[in-house]
Amino acid sequence: FVPTGTMGNLVSVMAHTYDARDAEVIVGHHSHMCIYEQGGIATVAHVHPRQLQNQPDGSIKLEDIEEAIRPVDDHFPTTKLVCVENTHNKKGGLVLSLEYLDALGELLKSKNVKIHVDGARVFAAAAALDVPPSRVVSMADSVSVCMSKALGAPAGSVVVGDAAFIRRCRRARKVLGGGMRQAGVLAAAALVALDETLPRLKEDQRRAHAFASAIANDTGSLRSALNVDLNAVHTNLVYVSVRPDNPAGLKAPAIIQTMRSHKVWALPISDYQMRFVFHHQVDDNAVDAAIAALRASV
């Protein structure tokens, strides 16, 4: 148990590379680990991050990964780990396909390179694919799972791996300040989330799709001002684009500010994009209210 997903990813990298001062880790250029974790794998773990391009679906091309794995040479760092994100936040909560993950596992096993899954929302991926979470991470050597995103616990993430790996994670967690004797209080809330919220994730996803469909199928102000790709709504995240040529000349921050007066919150990603997140406290009536608030704001 760790306080945050950022720490979960960092201790995992430290545990995988503890025996290699020349370690290199492959990450996607739009991954959370690359953009939103302050470069901790470099500044704290002293590991060299090799950034490869994320595809629109959140994956990294297998041929790019294979080409990036370093040959044994005194001039090069040593490729120790590949990190993938599932679901992929910056790509709109998209789910990596099982076919891709299985192929990635086969490739890296043949190269003796480990896989870490930043699975902050991996339970959402399993719900979307209608398979057990264990199937989604069956090819992984380690996983970091968030207990607050979608599941609704107040804080905390869990790192999963074999016994030797977890032993090294515990040591890394301690030096990072995460060895809390109070962890049981937070972990108890996480257990409630697993018991009560996890079985309801598909309801969150249904409501997210209903919200997105209301925008996509609208024939009035929503359609003229906004755009949403229904094929990109895999889980409980809905990314809504603001049309630059919308009649009122609105931008995302202004729309969101008006929505707040209707007690509906969203996150501005840019001037022309917003993110809406659906969770266990958002019921069908709240979805209707969100649609009404959005309509009143454009």
Tens of pLDDT, residues 234-279: 999 999 999 999 999 999 999 999 999 999 999 999 999 999 999 9
22 has a pLDDT exceeding 90: yes
Angle at the Cα of 199 from the Cα atoms of 198 and 202, rounded to 5 degrees = 95
Contact 35, 90 (CB under 8 A): yes
Sequence-distant (≥ 6) Cβ neighbours of residue 261 within 8 angstroms: none
Element (H, E) at 173: helix 163-175
Contact 82, 116 (CB under 8 A): yes
63 has a pLDDT exceeding 90: yes
pLDDT at 265: 96
pLDDT at 54: 98
3-state secondary structure of 119: strand
List C-alpha distances in Å: 107 to 9, 65, 81, 196: 22, 9, 12, 37
Contact 205, 128 (CB under 8 A): yes
150 has a pLDDT exceeding 80: no
Contact 81, 113 (CB under 8 A): yes
170 has a pLDDT exceeding 80: yes
pLDDT at 182: 87
pLDDT at 165: 98
User: Average model confidence (pLDDT) for the chain?
Assistant: 96
Q: Which of 78, 87, 80 is nearest to 117 (CA)?
A: 87
Which tokens belong to 270? 């840019």
Burial of 54 (0-12, 13-18, 19+ CB in 10 A): buried
Which pLDDT band, with edges at 50, 70 and 90, does 3 fall under?
very high
Cβ neighbours, 10 Å, residue 76: 12
Is the CA virtual torsion 206, 211, 212, 215 positive or negative? positive
Please give the share of the chain, as a percent, with pLDDT higher than 90: 97
Rounded distance, CA 194 to CA 15, Å? 26
Gyration radius of the chain over CA positions: 20
Identify which of 18-22, 83-87, 216-220 has the greatest average pLDDT.
83-87
